[in-house]
Amino acid sequence: MSALRPRDLALFAVVIVLFVGTGMVQSWNVSLTILNMGLISAIMALGVNMQWGYAGLFNVGIMGFVALGGLGAVLVSMPPVGEAWAAGGLRVLAGLALGIATIVAAIAAWRRVPRWRGLVVLVVLLVGFFSFRAVFDGGVAMVEAVSPATSGYLGGLGLPVIIGWPVGGLLAAGAAWLIGKTALGLRSDYLAIATLGIAEIVIAVLKNEDWLARGVKNVIGLPRPVPYEIDLQGSDGFTQFAAEWGWDPITASTIAVKLAYAGLFAIVLAILIWLAQSALASPWGRMMRAIRDNEVAAEAMGKDVTRRHLQIFILGSAVCGLAGAMMTTLDGQLTPGTYQPLRYTFLVWVMVIVGGSGNNWGAVLGGFLIWWLWVQVEPLGALLMQAITAGMTDGTWLKDHLLDAVAHMRLLTMGIVLLLVLRFSPRGLIPER
C-alpha cells in the first residue's frame, strides 16, 4: 500500500531498460507494440489482483470477461446496420426479451408455487425455450441474410470507441454478477470451474451468434480514438514536423499513432492504480483483506462475506472487461477465434503471481514483465535453438523438428517461470505489505 521502495523502483527500472533495449536492438515500433499490450496486460493483472490479491477469489475465466469487453467496444463503436435492424432487429430483441422473461418466470415460479413446483418450473422452461427459439431464430436468420459478406449483423451504436471501454467493463460486470450469484459462497474450486465454464461459453456465443458481432467472420475496421497513419502522412504539419527532426514520415507516423495509444492506455492505467491504491488503503480495503485472511472472524464481526466477495468479483471482472475493450480497440478488430485460455486467462495469472499478488504495483510490474517475456521468448528461443542445432547437419529430421518447435517454447517458459516464482519467491517480485 505504501509508496514504492527502492527495490521496487529498481525492478521498474529493469522493465524500462528492457523496453528501451528492445527499441534500440530491434526497433521502436516493436518496442511500442509490446508496450501497448503491456499496458493492457497490466490493467488485466490489476483486475485479477483485486479478486485474488484482495479477496482470495480464484477466477480462471478472465478470457470471457476480456472478450465481453471487446464486444462492448464493437457494440458501441461500429455504425448501426439499418437494413438489418429493419429486417429482423426488433424480432431478435423480442426473442431475447422472451428468453429473459422465461428465466424470470421460472425463478418466480420456483419461489412462489406451493405445490408441484418442479413440474411447473419445467413446463415454464420448456414452453419458454421453444417460444424463444421460434421468435429468435427467425429474427436471426433475417438479420444474418443482410449482405452476409460485409455485415450480416446488427452493428453498433456508432458512438466514439472510447465510450465502448466503460461499456465493455459493464458487460463483463454483468456476467460476473451472474456467475458470482451462483458460485460464490460455495467452495473456492467451484468458482474456478464456474468461471472456466463461463469463459468458454462467452467465446462460443461470440463465435456462433453472427447477428451480434459477425461470429468467426470477425468485425474489422473498428473506428479509432487516434488518427490513422495515412492521414498523418498526408498532413503537411506532421510531415514538416518529421522533416525538421530528420525522421522518415512513414516510420514517424506509425510511432506517433502507437505513442498516442500508449498515452491513452497509460492514463487509464494511472487512474485505475490510483483508485485501486486508495481503495486498498481505505477501511474497505482493510475489511477485504480481513475477510481474505479469516472469513470466520470477519463474519463474526458482522461482515457480509458473500456480499463483499460478489462486490469485488464484479469490480475485478469489470476491470478485465475494460482492458478487453481497450485491446479490441488497439487491434481494430474483434476476432473470437483467437481467444485462447492459455493466453488470456492463465498468462494473466502468471503475471499476477510473478508480480506479487495483493500488491497493485506488483501486478502492474508482472503485466509488463511477463508480456515482454511472452513476446520475446520466441526470438530468444529461436536464437537458442540455432545455437543448439548449429552442430547438426542441415536437413536432418531432428534439426528441422527442433527449429519448428521454437514456437512452443513460450508455454514451457511461462510454466517454468510460474513454478520458480511460486517456489522460491511465493509472494512475488513486489510482495504485499
Partner 1 sequence: MEPLNALVTFANFVLVPATAYGAQLALGALGVTLIYGILRFSNFAHGDTMAFGTMGVILATWGLQAAGISFGPLPTALLALPVGIAVASALVLLTDRAVYRFYRGKRAVPVTFVIASLGVMFIYNGFTRFIIGPDDQQFSDGQRFIISARDFKELTGLDEGLALKTTQVITIVVALAVVIALFWFLNRTRTGKSMRAYSDNEDLALLSGINPEKVVVVTWLIVAALATVAGTLYGLDKTFKPFTYFQLLLPIFAAAIVGGLGSPVGAIAGGFVIAFAEVTITYPLKKVLGYALPEALEPDGLVQLLSTDYKFAVSFVILLIVLLFRPTGLFAGKSV
In the complex, the residues that contact partner 1 under the rule CB under 8 A are 56, 58, 60, 129, 182-183, 186-190, 192-194, 196-198, 200-201, 204, 207-208, 340-342, 346, 349-350, 353, 404-405, 407-416, 418-419, 422-423, 426
Cα(172)–Cα(48) distance, rounded to whole angstroms? 13
Query: Of 410, 356, 287, which is closest to residue 46 (Cα–Cα)?
Result: 356
Report, in Å, the least distance between residue 330 CB and partner 1.
25
Report, in Å, the least distance between residue 56 CB and partner 1.
8
Report, in Å, the least distance between residue 193 CB and partner 1.
5
Report, in Å, the least distance between residue 282 CB and partner 1.
26
Q: Which residue type does 432 have?
A: E
C-alpha cell at 81: 446496420
Q: Do 110 and 56 touch, CB atoms closer than 8 A?
A: no
Q: Do 403 and 370 touch, CB atoms closer than 8 A?
A: no
Report, in Å, the least distance between residue 33 CB and partner 1.
24
C-alpha cell at 112: 412462489
Report, in Å, the least distance between residue 196 CB and partner 1.
6
Tell me whether residue 190 or residue 284 sits nearer to partner 1 (CB atom): 190
Cα(152)–Cα(83) distance, rounded to whole angstroms? 9
Tell me whether residue 35 or residue 354 sits nearer to partner 1 (CB atom): 354
Tell me whether residue 124 or residue 264 sits nearer to partner 1 (CB atom): 124
Tell me whether residue 198 or residue 255 sits nearer to partner 1 (CB atom): 198
What SS3 class is residue 147? coil
Q: Do 133 and 124 touch, CB atoms closer than 8 A?
A: no
Q: Which residue type does 309 have?
A: H
Tell me whether residue 66 or residue 252 sits nearer to partner 1 (CB atom): 66
Tell me whether residue 258 or residue 410 sits nearer to partner 1 (CB atom): 410
Report, in Å, the least distance between residue 140 CB and partner 1.
11
Q: What single-letter DSSP state applies at residue 392? A: S
Tell me whether residue 205 or residue 275 sits nearer to partner 1 (CB atom): 205
Tell me whether residue 1 or residue 196 sits nearer to partner 1 (CB atom): 196
| Distances in whole angstroms, Cα of residue 38 to Cα of each of 176, 290, 364, 400 | 24, 31, 9, 32
Phi, psi angle pair for 219, to nearest 5°: -90, 125
Q: What is the 3-state secondary structure (H, E, C) of 225-268?
A: CCCCHHHHHHCHHHHHHHHHHCCCHHHHHHHHHHHHHHHHHHHH
∠ at Cα 268 (264, 272), nearest 5°?
A: 165
Cα(168)–Cα(64) distance, rounded to whole angstroms? 12
Report, in Å, the least distance between residue 343 CB and partner 1.
11
